[in-house]
Amino acid sequence: MEDQWLIAAIYYIVKSAYFLYTQCVGVPVYVTFHILLLPLRFVRPRLFWTIDAHLFKAVLGGVTSWFYTDGVVLKESGDSLKDILDDKALLLCNHQSTADIGVIMQSLHPKGMVTGHMTWVMDHVFRLTHFGWVSHLHGDFFLKQPCRTVSERTKQMKKLKTHLKNIYLKTLKKWIVVFPEGGFLSTRKPGNQRYAKKHGLPVLENVCLPRLGVTKTILDELAPKEGLYDFNDNHEKLNWIIDMTIAYPRGEAPNALTLMFSMGKFPPIHIHFRVFDIQSVPRDENGLTKWMYDRYVEKEAMLDHFYKTGMLANDGMETQDTDKISCFLYVLFYSIWMWWLFIFVYTPIFSLFSWKLIFGIIFCYVLYFIYDFIKYFRDFSP
């Protein structure tokens, strides 16, 4: 019994140290590269964003290594993504917990450069976190929630349109990741079910009916119908919608930390992909709404079947290929650069300022982050 306790203690200490270490080397080096290479962004923008794609994939590789070191296994089924990895696509995924983000990263990491050329649409609460700096520099979009009025929603969609034109189209991005439910299942379900009952819509237990604003805005801007929108022909349009369903055993979705510290005991996580040609998707508001609702009704049935039988789909499940070597090489890459930058860049710069000033700035930033975090949850309260 004592031996088991000791092994568990060593495991948590080592894993926590590795978890913190990868962030302490990955984030500063990524940010520093962006600053040092800033002139290249204006002189050779295509080369700059090609470098960024590799750096961002390397950062996500470090995140993926957290799950690899804990033996997290993914089993995939459905349509193959092999032939569309270099096309522009919109990935729609059900959202149950913070673990979903890590599962998506782990699933897509071995699939070429797709994670490097990916844009995430995420909640604005993450923008002040250390990884929020990486996401901001990479060109992800922070969606402010909740939007309680029509004017607030309209303002957010205008910002998204501007972001798609000025950032997504100009930075070699390919895939866009969206969680149409607008939040975690546990927090969104009660209100979603009340809305469904009020409007005579399907009342779902395993997913929520999706919100259409972000999806419709992206489709209108990046896959416009002929003659309806001013679209630059120099940019490739969206080709596909990828419907991704994540299923956790017994419907018990862990948070990201629980999954990362599961000591290899968490059962395999199942993923199902369906790929739709953009041309087959209705573009009018009513048609798109019905199409999206139909997808989530199908998810509901699929997840219900999975929780009862352990099978997500009738077609065969395949254990996903892993790319552990590249993940740990990425961590080594950032470690070497962190050592070099610490000696020749960070130390000389920090020596110009007093430690009191540095800690004062950090303290003020932390206070603002706490204030913004509390304000976010207060705004979400009924």
> CA of 166: how far to CAs of 71, 161, 262, in Å?
40, 9, 41
User: Which pLDDT score, from 0 to 100, does residue 229 have?
Assistant: 45
Average per-residue pLDDT for the chain: 88
- The enclosing domain of 298 has a CATH number of 3.40.1130
Q: Which residue has the higher pLDDT, 153 or 291?
A: 291
Residue at token pair 């205008």: 158
Give 347-373 pLDDT, tens digit per residue.
998 888 888 888 888 888 778 777 766
pLDDT for residue 209 is more than 90: yes
Mean pLDDT, range 84-102, rounded to an integer: 94
Mean pLDDT, residues 62-70? 91
- pLDDT, residue 264, reads 85
- Where residue 234 falls among pLDDT bands split at 50, 70, 90? low
Higher-confidence residue of 6 and 60: namely 60
CB 219 within 8 A of CB 90: yes
pLDDT, greater one: 376 or 164: 164
Which amino acid, 198?
A: K
Q: Name the percent of the chain lying above pLDDT 90.
A: 63
Mean pLDDT value across residues 148-164? 89
Residue 22 located in a structural domain: no
Structural domain count of the chain = 1
H runs (alpha helix) in the chain: 2-36, 38-43, 45-68, 99-108, 130-138, 150-166, 185-198, 213-222, 256-260, 285-309, 324-341, 347-350, 355-380
Which position has the token pair 């540095």?
358
Find the mean pLDDT for residues 168-185.
93
Is 367 a domain residue?
A: no
Q: How much is the pLDDT for 227?
A: 44
**368 Cβ contact list (under 8 Å, min separation 6):** 128
Per-residue pLDDT, 304: 93
Query: Is the residue at 245 inside a domain?
Result: yes
Domain that holds residue 78: 72-325
Q: With bands split at pLDDT 50, 70 and 90, how would you rate the model's confidence at 235?
A: low
pLDDT in tens, 14-40: 999 999 999 999 999 999 999 999 999
Task: Evaluate if residue 65 carries a pLDDT over 90.
Answer: yes
- Integer distance in angstroms from the first to the last C-alpha of the chain? 47
Which of 70-79, 86-95, 271-280, 313-322 is least confident? Answer: 313-322
CB atoms within 10 A of CB 99: 22
In a domain, 25, yes or no: no
Query: In this structure, is residue 372 part of a structural domain?
Result: no
Which of the given ranges, 91-95, 123-127, 154-158, has the highest pLDDT on average?
Answer: 91-95
Coil, strand or helix at 277: strand
Question: Would you give the DSSP letter of residue 92?
Answer: E
Q: Give yes or no for residue 226 having a pLDDT over 60.
A: no
Asked if pLDDT for residue 381 goes beyond 90, the answer is: no
Residue 95 in domain: yes
Beta-bridge partner residues of 92: 178, 243
Residue in the structure block whose two tokens are 């204030």: 371
- Identify whether 358 is part of a domain: no
**Given this model, what pLDDT does residue 228 score?**
44
Count CB neighbours of 154 within 10 A. Answer: 12
In-domain check, residue 333: no
More confident residue, 195 or 316: 195
For residue 230, pLDDT over 70 is answered with no
